Amino acid sequence: MIRAIILDVDGVIVGNKIGVNFPLPHTEVIQKLKQVHSRNISVILCTGKFNSAILDIIWQAKLNNPHITDGGALILDPINNKIIKKYSIEKNILKSCVESCLKQNIYIELYTAESYFIQKKQVSDFTLKREDILQTKPVIVDSLDLIIDDDKFIKVIAFAKDKSEMPKVEAAIKHLRGKISSFWSFHPYIDPCRPCVITASNVSKANAVKETLKNLKLSFEESLGIGDSQSDWGFIKQCKYAATLDNGDSNIKKLVKTKGSGNFLIARHIDKNGIFDILKYFSLIN
């Protein structure tokens, strides 16, 4: 019996069709998640995004259990007003990361658990697109360097304009290898831009899922992991059951198949509400 669903957000329930599945999932998707949760099944949203971007989903679907945001740097239960875990980046490491990215003129966002910050000189039309995604405005400061005075920051996002610029971002943070964790994310609304999510070295979605299930006194054996990219495999592979969608990348489609017959599904495209296929296949809705 499945007692927990660990659910990536972008590309799974949030797409790029404004008013249909962006900035929030389709209204029917939210209702189905609410229905599943009402059966005493924990629906754990797991995203690289800032927590403000998923708050409306949580409240509308009444998902009063812990959720994972910021690539695993924050585990929180907004409905019960609890922060379960928060992992900060050490101040000197963060300063070095920010300075290196800005020197290369890489657009970056800096996050605490409550707010996100950008540098005034980098404000552009792209900033407005990010506001649409995150459902909140940034704090605009003259210099990001000057606000790094403690260990309250949990995440940096460095943006490559497209795939060809990804090596530039990788080079900017190469000197911090072993001191940070990083992974490439994707959001259809800002395609072809690629966000690189940077957190403390011990942070990952996989570790956060482990911590969250422990908090709920649940196990991976009774969990279904759903994602759309290879970066989600870190937590999905630990779950007994796995699923992705037709719009998922080719690698994640291959990987979920390793779960074996009856334990995985590749569902329809997000624009066809493929999440319904998954919930029905695993008998979570009628």
Tell me the pLDDT band of 232, cut-offs 50, 70 and 90: very high
Average pLDDT in the 263-284 region?
98
Distance (Å, rounded) from C-alpha 166 to C-alpha 25?
29
Distance (Å, rounded) from C-alpha 158 to C-alpha 184?
10
H helices present in 104-204, as ranges = 125-134, 166-173
What pLDDT is attached to residue 210? 98
Q: Which of 172, 200, 228 is the last residue of a domain?
A: 200
Which residue in the block uniquely carries the two structure tokens 């499945």? 2
Task: Clarify whether residues 70 and 108 are in a common domain.
Answer: no
Average pLDDT in the 53-59 region?
97
- Of 133, 86, 141, nearest to 112 (Cα)? 86
Q: Which of 200, 232, 250 is the last residue of a domain?
A: 200
**Number of structural domains found in the chain:** 2
Q: What CATH number should be reported for the domain holding residue 49?
A: 3.40.50.1000
Half-sphere exposure of 248 (CA within 13 A, CB side): 30
Interval 131-187: pLDDT, tens: 999 999 999 999 999 999 889 999 999 999 999 999 999 999 999 999 999 999 989
Percentage above 90 pLDDT, the chain: 98
Task: Clarify whether residues 96 and 194 are in a common domain.
Answer: yes
pTM across the whole model: 0.94
What pLDDT is attached to residue 286? 87
What pLDDT is attached to residue 226? 98
Task: Clarify whether residues 171 and 233 are in a common domain.
Answer: no
Interval 19-38: pLDDT, tens: 999 999 999 999 999 999 99
On whether residue 286 sits in a domain, the answer given is no
Interval 107-139: pLDDT, tens: 999 999 999 999 999 999 999 999 999 999 999
Segments forming the whole domain that contains residue 191: 91-200
On whether residue 218 sits in a domain, the answer given is yes
Task: For residue 55, give the amino acid letter.
Answer: L
**Inter-CA distances, 286 with 26, 160, 171, 201, 251, Å:** 18, 42, 49, 42, 30
What pLDDT is attached to residue 59? 98
Task: Clarify whether residues 140 and 222 are in a common domain.
Answer: no
**Inter-CA distances, 157 with 94, 111, 181, Å:** 12, 8, 12
What pLDDT is attached to residue 40? 97
The order of strands in the sheet holding 155-160 is 139-141, 116-119, 107-111, 155-160, 194-200, 180-184
